[in-house]
Each structure stands twice: as C-alpha cells, then as structure tokens.
Chain A
C-alpha cells in the first residue's frame, strides 16, 4: 500500500515537472522561431565619419557589438549592459530615439549633440555615426605575462610582452582595457599604462586588489607565461611639447601608473625638464617605487620627488619624508604662477583638494587633467 502511494507520488511529481518543462521548451521554441522572423533586419550599413570607412553588418544587433566584430573597439567596462556609460559615440542618423536606459549617463549638452550609448543603440536600418580618429586606431592585443611583482601588500606590478600586434604606440596617461573572464562572459576593466611610451613591446600595469573585484582578482592571479588579451590605447591626455612647461604629477593610493609613464617618457625626451611628483600614501607599507624615483632624481636635478604619509607613524617605523595629506605638500613646495601642466590620479576627495591648491597656484583648469577612481 505504502509502496503504491510512493509510486503514485513519484509519478505525479514526474508528470508535473515534465509538463512544465515541456511547456517551457514549447514557449522558448516559439520565441526563437518568432525571433528568426521578426528580429531579422537584413544587412545594414554603418557609415563612420561620413563615408571614410563604411561597413556592412547584420541588423538586429547592438551598435557596440557590430563595431566590435569589425575591430572598432569603443571603450566599455560593463560589456554592453548599459551600466558603465563608457561607450559614448555620436549617432547622427538612423539610431532611433534616445532610450530611458541611456539618459542617466548623458548630460544635456551630449543629448543635444546626438551622443548615444553604443551598447543600447540597436541597428534597424542604415546608421551614420561619428567616431574620433583616436578610437579607430585602437587595436586588440594579445600578450604574455613577463613578470608579476608584489609592490605593496595590495598592489602588484604586472608586465606583459606583446605578441600580436607586437608594438603599441601609446602616449603617457593613456589606458588599456583588460579582458577578464567572468561568469557572464568576458568583461573589460580599464588600467593605466605604467610603462614608458618608448617601451613599444611592453605594457606594464599597477594593479591594486579590490576584494571581490573581477578584473583585479584576475590580474593578481596571473602567473608568468599566462596569456592576456586587451584593447587600447584609450585616453585623450596629451603631454605638453613645450620644454619650458613644468609638469606636476600628483597621485594617491594606487594612482601611480600614469605618473610613472609620464615621468620616464619625459626624461627620455627632455633630460633637463622640470617635473614634480607628489605621491600620497597612508603608511610606510604603502610606499613603492620611491627608490627608483630618487635614483632618477639624482640623474635629473630638475626632477623632484615628494612622498607623504597621511597616517601617524607606527612603532618602529622610520620616515624622514613629508607627513599629512598630499595636497598640503603640494601647497608647501610649489611656487605660484609658472607655466605648468598637471596630471592627477587618485580618489575623488584628493583630486578635489589638489585641484583647489593648484588653481590657487595659478594653473588654469584646462591644464589640470585627472583620473578619478
């Protein structure tokens, strides 16, 4: 009797599960068939920068993925989910109306100028877009990890040798987007290049581990010889060519990468140029690259390095440099009213404090560049 009940019970459950599964399959099949017929827009043309480079793609996909498959790499950190707002390009015609998913990332000026998020624009007809020449020269690189060095308790220096293409032409201050695997397919994370521009076969990064961060965890776990894929270079910063313009670099936390690139590139080209590096750390455990820069300063007397610790010294710690927040050091050392260009990289409160000091010293807001993170 009990046995019979159990058998009926199991039958009942099986039957329920099977019927629901059958219904789900039937519904999905119907949707897939419908998609075949309904979401088929044929071949559409993407006209980039008024006919300089027209390409033909299958309609129905997003602009971002269509450009991507044609090797035009628009920066995107979220992989087309509409949550980073990086993939802004100008769509002059054929993009349809602005979507509610885009408005949070666009300001009024951009909306008036037809700026759209490429990942949200679906290709339904021939479409006309404008992409800065800069982005058209972005390439996808495959590279091999050459070394991975621990700089501090949470920062690693990762050096990658390029395989294909074997050379990168980058300017100091630019960044690359590293492709990292995740549960939902590959994602991209931006990192500034710390190797100097004259090192054309290498891309070096400074990566701070973020607990739970997909990109930084992936990079920290890389071993020598592992393959890496990234796109780049991105970024609009341009170092002033005038040797009389003094360069001010202010970094905090792990915002060292672009500074290292700027300084080495600078002294390779102009050995006598004046440059200040201010770097803010919490404790002595966060200090890195100091020796390297002090040696560089011995070779180039116009290069000045200032590291400052913001936390109190612990027991047994030795420090003969500056203390306090880094904007105070900048205030102390910089003279007012010189021709200057400044590059800042660090947490937002630091950027704001330093920007205020630099403006007091007579640097025009247009000459202050920054990376907030």
Chain B
C-alpha cells in the first residue's frame, strides 16, 4: 500500500526532519537562528520555496529528464531550477508585496544555496514518491526545517543569559544544542515511518 501524503508530511516534520536527521541546510540554520523573528522569516521562505521547487522538479524529472534518459543531469538541473525559481520569487514579491520583500530581505537569495532545498528534491526522486506524496514531502520538509530553526532561535535567545564556558560560546554551543535537539527528535522515531 502506498504511504499517504499526510503521513509523509508528518514524518517529514517529526521523525525524518531534514535538518535534524539528515543535517541538511546547516549553514543558514546556524547563521540565522539568532532571533525568533528572523527564524520565522527564513523558515517561511524556505517552506514556500521547498514546496514549489519539489513540484517543478518533479515535473522536470518525470517529464523531461527520465524520458530522455538524462538522469545524470539531475543535480545540475535541480540546482539551476532552484536558483531561477528563487530569482523569480524575489522579483514577484518585490513587485506585489514590498513589505514582505523587505521583511524577508536578504533571506531569499540565501535560499538559493540552502542544501535542504536540493536535498528535498533529490530524496523525493530516490524514494520514488508520486506527485501528491512529493508535494506533501516538500511542504513537510519545509515545515520541519522551520520548526527546527525556530526552536533553535528560542534556545539561543535563552542561552544569551546563561553562563556558558568561554570556549563554547557562539557556534560551538549551537552545534552541541543542535545535536541534543536531534537526539530529542529521535524520540519521535517509530511514531510514523517512511524509508
């Protein structure tokens, strides 16, 4: 029986969180988790782009690359599509919602190089998801990434007032906290499972 898209979505958020189990998208996760507000901005942008690029990449893979036997171009094509899509979204938002544009500011271009986005598109191919499943997976991975970065931002805001030993301040403690967070998420394992 095929796994339903809802289950894949929930699994992508909790048990198979792309950031905390695959450790993808770490650079922007560490760099932009200083404040909850920026984390929400970046998280929203990532979720949106991840969902949309999953859809576009699904179409390109199954209607262009596979029929033509060009599987080996998957990586480079996906990267190009993501970059172009981000450019397009940037122009679109700038035109129709300058407020959102300035709120997202520098985050939109940052997404181009977020490996979680490419990762989601590649997993969807490797795991042989159908279209509905892919949409669920893309959206779920985005939500999962957003959840993780918001939790991290909350923790880092609290950590500002704690007495951390000098050598651990900044990125080292952020890495350690990420690991603890990832271990905590292992508690969800077995709840729902996808490959």
Contacts and interface: CB of A to CB of B under 8 A. Distances in A.
| Chains A and B form a bound pair | yes
Contacts of B87: 31
B70 A38 contact: no
A34 B91 contact: yes
Contacts of B170: none
Given A31-B84, A38-B92, A38-B94, A100 B77 contact: no
A16 B95 contact: no
B159 interface: no
Interface in B13-39: none
Contacts of A28: 84
Interface string B61-81: 000100010101100110011
B126 interface: no
Nearest to A27: B84
Interface stretch (A17-25, A131-139, A159-167, A332-340): A17-25
Contacts of B88: 30-31, 34
A208 interface: no
Contacts, number: 49
A35 interface: yes
A149 interface: no
Most chain B CB neighbours (cut-off 10 Å) among A34, A101, A124: A34
Interface stretch (B41-49, B98-106, B175-183, B187-195): B98-106
Contacts of A16: 70, 72-73
A99 B91 contact: no
Nearest to B85: A27
B46 to A, nearest CB: 18
A31 B85 CA distance: 9
A19 B105 contact: no
Contact of A20 (B73, B92, B105): B73
Interface string A1-22: 0000000000000011001100
Contact of A27 (B68, B72, B80, B92): B80
A97 interface: yes
A97 B102 contact: yes
Nearest to A39: B91
B129 to A, nearest CB: 22
A99 B105 contact: yes
A96 interface: yes
A31 B91 CA distance: 9
A24 B98 contact: no
Interface of A: 15-16, 19-20, 23-24, 27-28, 30-31, 34-35, 38-39, 96-97, 99-101, 124
Interface of B: 60, 64, 68, 70, 72-73, 76-77, 80-81, 84, 87-88, 91-92, 94-95, 98, 102, 105-106
Closest 9 CB pairs of A and B: A27-B84, A38-B91, A38-B95, A97-B102, A100-B106, A34-B88, A19-B70, A31-B87, A20-B73
